[in-house]
Structure 1
């Protein structure tokens, strides 16, 4: 199944736009997750507690690679695919290179890790994007207007009467989306820019970081970014869910936080 169809099916069946980001900080785990398989076991508990409430999971590559836990990343994705195959997995690795290297990064995401979509930095142009979009059943999610405080320094630069992030959105929607598998990263902390991007890209799905720890406003995000049918957004929360409690009730607390976020989002749909 093509990724966009897969995602839309999950939006409807779960009645949710919530994505839980899997950003492991082993030092924040409760006691009992310090063995060699601790990251996977922590992720598994979070996934089992929240699986019926989400439209996607988003493991963050660097959080695994920095502690030499790539095997646990692969195991985490395999667990989701085997136990909850209806839920898409987005590998957040923000790759950005050209030629044979970009092709290898695409294989890394889609073949080695078996992710359903991957985040990509399009700064080097179509040469960066095309090796990913050639996997026609997978999703390629391009950084467009991100949620970090310094984003405007480059992304809002004027490039001939409009900001750079709008040019990325235009290219994504009009020139790079031949296989209908391109999406955009648009931060929750920039709702005005999100509204402008939505007008450019139509109903193209957006991955939305910046809710929770970064302070994005849910009502503003829905007002600016939802598609006409009330979907169109993959609203990510990572730390606020994963570390809602540092005690033995961490999984229950993660579920409560996810349910609260889902319900608040659905108020504005």
Structure 2
């Protein structure tokens, strides 16, 4: 199954939540630290509790690379917990000169077997082409992110009066020949989302920033529903995986994602 087909399948089931596995040893329940592999056990519990309700899982490479070789082993093992029909995203934000990107793409798509990756476009199309060559995968290209620093570059105005992030959306649409392109658009930018959603064409959309960063899951869904559009997922990390420091963290994660899915059903049904 192609990556975008997995996304559409879950959207048709009115599932739009991407569970972010930003698994930090300093934030997981303390009792897990006595386990042989505490992060892996934490991930296993989260996936088991949420896989019936999740549209995707996003693994943030930073939290695993910091653990060295062990971290890469945890990524491999965590992916084994995730059902084959659920989209897996490597949040690695790659983008480099051609031969380097070829190795990054091979690592993420062939070694690890992820369905999708996050990329930054600022070195141009040739830096992304090795990823785009994987026709069955999805490439989420940073357009307008949810952090305050997005104003430094992404919201710079070009000579034609458009914003840089709008130029990225336009180019990504041109590159979407195999329907394997998407964009990252921060959920904190609700006004910009309303203004630009018609320019997304058939791009898949990954929206971070809900919860701790201030974005509203319900508001984002209403924007997409108002345009009769799916093909998107909303990433939530801390708002799902860190709801408890006790043994009930998995149960609370399950309840929260079920609550979010109920919101989606009310909006889209």
Place the TM-score, normalised by the shorter chain, in its bin: over 0.9
Please report how far the alpha carbon of residue 227 of structure 1 lies from its aligned counterpart in structure 2 after TM superposition.
7.7
Please report how far the alpha carbon of residue 150 of structure 1 lies from its aligned counterpart in structure 2 after TM superposition.
1.3
Please report how far the alpha carbon of residue 191 of structure 1 lies from its aligned counterpart in structure 2 after TM superposition.
1.3
Aligned to 2:64: 64
- Tell which has more relative contact order, 1 or 2 (C-alpha 8 A, sep 6+): 2
Alignment of 1:76-115 (within 5 A): 76-80=78-82, 84-115=83-114
Using structure 2 for the length normalisation, give the TM-score. Answer: 0.93
Q: Which structure 2 residue ranges, 5 or more long, are not aligned? A: none
Name the SS of the counterpart of 2:19 in structure 1.
Answer: strand
2-side partners of 1:196 and 1:203: how far apart?
A: 16
Moved more, 164-173 or 200-209: 200-209
Please report how far the alpha carbon of residue 60 of structure 1 lies from its aligned counterpart in structure 2 after TM superposition.
0.5
Q: Is the 8 A contact 1:189 1:216 kept in 2?
A: yes
Residues 229, 199 of structure 1: CA spacing in aligned structure 2 closer, same or farther, 3 A cutoff?
closer
Please report how far the alpha carbon of residue 226 of structure 1 lies from its aligned counterpart in structure 2 after TM superposition.
4.6
Q: Is the 8 A contact 1:144 1:169 kept in 2?
A: yes
Q: Is the 8 A contact 1:226 1:233 kept in 2?
A: no
1-side partners of 2:225 and 2:127: how far apart?
A: 28
Alignment of 1:1-269 (within 5 A): 1-13=1-13, 15-34=14-33, 35-68=35-68, 69-80=71-82, 84-159=83-158, 160-174=160-174, 176-226=175-225, 228-269=227-268
Q: Which structure 1 residue ranges, 5 or more long, are not aligned? A: none
2-side partners of 1:71 and 1:226: how far apart?
A: 39
Q: Is the 8 A contact 1:211 1:236 kept in 2?
A: yes
Q: What root-mean-square deviation, in Å, do the aligned CA atoms of Structure 1 and Structure 2 show?
A: 1.5
**How many residues are paired up?**
264
Using structure 1 for the length normalisation, give the TM-score. Answer: 0.93
Q: Is the 8 A contact 1:213 1:240 kept in 2?
A: yes
Runs of 4+ in 1 over 4 A off after TM superposition: 226-230
Please report how far the alpha carbon of residue 2 of structure 1 lies from its aligned counterpart in structure 2 after TM superposition.
2.1
Please report how far the alpha carbon of residue 18 of structure 1 lies from its aligned counterpart in structure 2 after TM superposition.
0.6
Please report how far the alpha carbon of residue 45 of structure 1 lies from its aligned counterpart in structure 2 after TM superposition.
0.4
Please report how far the alpha carbon of residue 197 of structure 1 lies from its aligned counterpart in structure 2 after TM superposition.
3.0
2-side partners of 1:223 and 1:39: how far apart?
A: 35
Please report how far the alpha carbon of residue 223 of structure 1 lies from its aligned counterpart in structure 2 after TM superposition.
3.4
